[in-house]
Structure 1
Amino acid sequence: MAGPAGQTAGIEATGGAPTRYGPALTLLASLFFMWGFITVINNTLLPHLRSVFELDYTQTTLIESVWFIAYFFASIPSARLIRRVGYQRAIVVGLLVMAGGALLMVPAAKVPSYGLVLTALFIIASGITLLQVAANPYVTVIGPPETGSSRLNLVQAFNSLGTTLAPLFAGYLILGRSKGGTAAVGTTLTAAERYADAQSVILPYVIVAVVLVLLAIVIARFPLPTIGQSTQRASQADRAGLSLWKHRNLVFGIPAIFIYLIAEIGVANLFINFVSQPDIANITREQASRYLALLWGGMMVGRFAGSYLMRRMPAEKVLAGFSIAAFVVMIVATFAQGPAAMWALILVGLCHSIMFPTIFSLGIRGLGPLTEEGAGLLIMAIAGGALVVVQGKLADMYGLQWSFLLTAACELYVLFYAVWGSRVTHPLPDERPVA
């Protein structure tokens, strides 16, 4: 490749990013790891809180709904903050907001207070929203547009590494140190035992808060490259004649993210309760958390594999194949019994692996100066995870296993997006970042 090495570096194998951006991508991968880790602690926290506060499935999934409602309310303010202070400072703010929310879990456990728990989780999720609005488009446009999906799947694999380790971390420190987590399903706890169980969330959230503050310090001191002008928010004058709604891939990508999140969050949050049932695996919730790690581990493997595949074939074709596989395994999980149902639900993690990063990168493809606004709308669509409460209601009405038919229906929309909805219309020019 012609030109001085400092200006036109070679392309790395890892997602097609220029070599000079390798350290930045490595650091950003740590962000993806942390927000994945913290999000999946919820999968262990929900069955724990169900026991502590004696909740039904609707009330339990409402906790996760509050988490994802934060994406709806925080996405647009996050995009505005990024415009005002820049990507790097916004990331630091996001990490500190998350740390503050994690520390709020301490008094929430001391009381204990269901309302205070919801408030703490909302604050943490708002910080994660800011990180998502900043980091996802940054990674997508930091290299050639044609390898954006591959690159985002690669760093999202580190997000999945965090989601794989989180159930083991929280299973040991929360469920493993609580009466409700180690007792047989259906055991009735006394008020004293439930109060003691509530205290088990303090240590893991203090550890998380400390790590987040340290990461914020590192990010604040690191020289991140700036994104090129054509992928930043356009001024009012520059936007004349430009419309987000002319881009089919974005218009159908927003509901694709929204609907996919219903599927991912529903499976993850109800997994422990599902596999611990006597007619499925008949194990304790603590033991079930170890199998949950396999579900998220499948997502990590799938994202590394997806990153490789997308350097050799179109991202939309890979997405179509994974969505068909996801539909098949969800049908098996709905109608099978015993270990077959459990392993089918575990396999859906592999099938879901590439969906979010691929839909996201396809959704902002060709947006040019509208990239930041489009990314904000796609991140806002993560609020679809709030509708997990609908699956909780279906589980209360018709049974937990039958509720997974909702998940199977969601996979079909992702297939539609891959086949037709992701096609780019009215593309605008992109520009690579500058050092």
Structure 2
Amino acid sequence: MLLGNRDDIVQYDNGYISKIPIFQFILLSCLVPLWAAAASLNDVLITQFKSVFALSDFASALVQSAFYSGYFLISIPASMVIRKTTYKTAILCGLGFYIAGCCLFFPASHMATYTMFLFAIFAIAIGLGFLETSVNTYSTMLGPQETATLRLNISQTFQPIGSISGILLGKYLIFQEGESMASQLAGMDAVQAAAYKMEMLQHTLEPYHAMIYVLLAIFALFAVTAYPKCKVKSASTEGIPSIGRTLSYLAKNTRFQRGIVAQFLYVGMQVAVWSFTIRLALHLDPSINERTAANYMVVSFIFFFVGKFVANFLMTKFSANRVLKIYALIGIVDILYTALVPGMTALYGAVLASFLFGPCWATIYARTLDAVEKKYTETAGAIIVMSIVGGAFVPAIQGYVSDVTGSMQLSFIINVLCFAFIGWYFHKEHKLETEDEEALVVANHNA
């Protein structure tokens, strides 16, 4: 007997359903903090691996490249699984890969090679690619069409909870007390340093060990819970369009393409800022250790959480596109301050940026998905998730700039360019929205 069976819910031909199944929606939303925790743990691993493996800033950023490349590669296959089966099946596949990736950290810690850790992170990302491809679109479909964007924003509101949890797991289970790792290694001979690095690698296992048990429990709960299919029923004899036909349609959709670029740069910017905030704190204040520096990430994710609520409130009063355009303009000034102003206040600018990140992902996702016909939703949603690959490129570029210039702080200038495009994107969306409203007024007047 499956949990949550509902006989009073009507499935419409466009994929939406008549009522929101509350238990199923909450359980679905619980997946968001699970992938957010994995992503924020990467911010800890970058700092840990840089010292253990003596990496450059560019090489340490490959943690994010491995992570977000997994998203890119699996999104289309995940959408095909959804097309052939159900959203629930894809979610179970994602949880399975997530669990497998966490388990790979154990052999990686014994092999003590950076490449093996990157492989484990890549496996986790494969699972998360399945989850995001499924959950982001499914949450918009799991209820009436008129509240689709609101449901996605509500689901995404859970993300900072996972992000904070991941950072706290890293802070207390991976980072240790005492001087910073770099300071301790500076006073050791080769034998002591090798033993110390092996000890530090063992600490990376602890958060993933705890996460395996949580994931197994969530997997079991999903397996026994009934979910509506939320599949679009085509009125034509052609059925659901093929991947090739869908890609051909999307290749001609300028608004969709603009949204993909905006999401690519947004995710890249967010990941880059978060990847190097701990490193920036250690750079600006060498007297603190990694555990203390992690506090700035905790505050960043709190700001991220608050920023979502403030934006959601503002979007009930004003156009979402206008709100996000203003957020982007403030973001440009804020990141410029972080990159160019000397002293610890620059770090506060990096932390404040998280407040401005809050509403971007869900709003860009929903706006981009709105730009396509519903019969193309599954594949279009997967391609939007593929744009997460921005997180593989922008942090690596920022790391390279840091290595070349010798300034971690100046490297934040890369994110100014990202915020500028996002501001332009929402300006274009706001302009289209205004034109549509004016056209509607004229049509009503003529009627």
TM tier relative to shorter chain: 0.7 to 0.9
How much identity, in percent, do the aligned residues show?
25
The match for 1:247 is 253
Query: Which one is further off, 106-115 or 281-290?
Result: 281-290
**Matched residues in 1 for 2:80 and 2:182: separation?**
48
**Matched residues in 1 for 2:345 and 2:426: separation?**
29
Q: Deviations over 1:232-253 (max 9, x none)?
A: 9923499699822343331101
Deviation at 1:84, TM superposition (A): 2.0
Structure 1 residues 281 and 343: CA distance shift in structure 2, 3 A: farther
Q: Where in structure 2 are the equivalents of 1:368-379 lying within 5 Å?
A: 368-379=374-385
**Matched residues in 2 for 1:247 and 1:212: separation?**
38
Q: Deviations over 1:291-347 (max 9, x none)?
A: 101111111122233333333433212221221121121011112222311111101
Q: Is the 8 A contact 2:83 2:378 kept in 1?
A: no
Structure 1 residues 140 and 307: CA distance shift in structure 2, 3 A: farther
**Matched residues in 2 for 1:42 and 1:200: separation?**
14
**Paired residue for 2:361, among 347, 351, 356?**
356
Q: Is the 8 A contact 2:9 2:18 kept in 1?
A: no
Are 1:382 and 2:388 an aligned pair? yes
The match for 2:281 is 275
**Paired residue for 2:398, among 391, 398, 402?**
391
**Matched residues in 2 for 1:370 and 1:231: separation?**
11
Are 1:259 and 2:262 an aligned pair? no
**Matched residues in 2 for 1:110 and 1:255: separation?**
40
**Paired residue for 1:293, among 279, 290, 298?**
298
Structure 1 residues 355 and 106: CA distance shift in structure 2, 3 A: same
Q: Is the 8 A contact 2:335 2:412 kept in 1?
A: yes
Structure 1 residues 413 and 148: CA distance shift in structure 2, 3 A: farther
Are 1:411 and 2:419 an aligned pair? yes
Are 1:342 and 2:347 an aligned pair? yes
Structure 1 residues 325 and 282: CA distance shift in structure 2, 3 A: farther
The match for 2:82 is 82
Give the total of aligned pairs: 414
Query: Which one is further off, 401-410 or 140-149?
Result: 140-149
**Matched residues in 2 for 1:181 and 1:101: separation?**
28
Structure 1 residues 337 and 150: CA distance shift in structure 2, 3 A: farther
Deviation at 1:193, TM superposition (A): 0.6
Structure 1 residues 410 and 60: CA distance shift in structure 2, 3 A: same
TM-score, structure 1 length as denominator? 0.88
**Matched residues in 2 for 1:322 and 1:231: separation?**
39
Structure 1 residues 202 and 247: CA distance shift in structure 2, 3 A: same
Q: Is the 8 A contact 2:246 2:379 kept in 1?
A: no
**Matched residues in 1 for 2:363 and 2:401: separation?**
29
**Paired residue for 1:306, among 285, 297, 311?**
311
Q: Is the 8 A contact 1:306 1:354 kept in 2?
A: yes
* Superposition RMSD in Å: 2.9
**Matched residues in 2 for 1:135 and 1:180: separation?**
41
The amino acid of 1:160's aligned partner reads: P
**Paired residue for 1:193, among 190, 196, 205?**
196
Deviation at 1:183, TM superposition (A): 6.4
Deviation at 1:134, TM superposition (A): 0.4
The amino acid of 1:375's aligned partner reads: G
Q: Is the 8 A contact 2:67 2:122 kept in 1?
A: yes
Deviation at 1:196, TM superposition (A): 1.0
Q: Deviations over 1:151-210 (max 9, x none)?
A: 222211101111022111111000127x77566488455111111111111221111112
The match for 2:4 is none
The amino acid of 1:108's aligned partner reads: A
Q: Is the 8 A contact 1:302 1:350 kept in 2?
A: yes
Structure 1 residues 181 and 172: CA distance shift in structure 2, 3 A: farther
Q: Mind listing any 5+ residue stretches in structure 2 that lack a counterpart? A: 1-6, 11-16, 437-447
Q: Is the 8 A contact 2:241 2:376 kept in 1?
A: no
- SS at structure 1 position matched to 2:204: helix
The amino acid of 2:227's aligned partner reads: L
Query: Which one is further off, 94-103 or 133-142?
Result: 133-142
The amino acid of 1:290's aligned partner reads: N
**Matched residues in 2 for 1:188 and 1:194: separation?**
13
Deviation at 1:280, TM superposition (A): 4.8
- SS at structure 1 position matched to 2:316: coil
Q: Where in structure 2 are the equivalents of 1:62-77 lying within 5 Å?
A: 62-77=62-77
Structure 1 residues 219 and 237: CA distance shift in structure 2, 3 A: closer
The match for 1:429 is none
Q: Is the 8 A contact 2:321 2:427 kept in 1?
A: yes
The amino acid of 1:44's aligned partner reads: V
The amino acid of 1:344's aligned partner reads: G
The amino acid of 1:397's aligned partner reads: V
**Matched residues in 1 for 2:228 and 2:325: separation?**
34
Q: Is the 8 A contact 2:140 2:149 kept in 1?
A: yes
**Matched residues in 2 for 1:140 and 1:50: separation?**
39
**Matched residues in 1 for 2:247 and 2:206: separation?**
53
Q: Mind listing any 5+ residue stretches in structure 1 that lack a counterpart? A: 9-16, 427-435
The match for 2:119 is 119
Are 1:172 and 2:186 an aligned pair? no
Q: Is the 8 A contact 1:301 1:350 kept in 2?
A: yes
- SS at structure 2 position matched to 1:311: helix
**Matched residues in 2 for 1:144 and 1:346: separation?**
37
Q: Is the 8 A contact 2:303 2:355 kept in 1?
A: yes
TM-score, structure 2 length as denominator? 0.86
Q: Is the 8 A contact 1:153 1:306 kept in 2?
A: no
Q: Is the 8 A contact 2:232 2:375 kept in 1?
A: yes
The amino acid of 2:298's aligned partner reads: A
The amino acid of 1:275's aligned partner reads: A
The amino acid of 1:295's aligned partner reads: S
Query: Which one is further off, 233-242 or 379-388?
Result: 233-242
The match for 1:12 is none
Q: Deviations over 1:108-141 (max 9, x none)?
A: 0122121110110000001000001000011123
Q: Is the 8 A contact 1:102 1:205 kept in 2?
A: yes
The amino acid of 2:363's aligned partner reads: T
**Matched residues in 2 for 1:392 and 1:113: separation?**
21
